Amino acid sequence: MGIGVSIFLIALGAILAFAVNVSVSGLDIAVVGWILMVVGAIGLIMTAFIWGPRNRARGDVVAERRVYDDRV
37-64: average pLDDT? 79
Q: Which pTM does this prediction carry?
A: 0.68
Amino acid occupying residue 42: I
- pLDDT at residue 45 in the model: 92
Domain-wise residue ranges, the chain: 3-57
* Residues pairing with 24 in the sheet: 27
Residue 25 in contact with residue 8, Cβ under 8 Å?
no
CB atoms within 10 A of CB 37: 20
**pLDDT tens across 11-43, in order?**
999 999 999 888 888 999 999 999 999 999 999
User: Mean of the pLDDT values across residues 34-56?
Assistant: 84
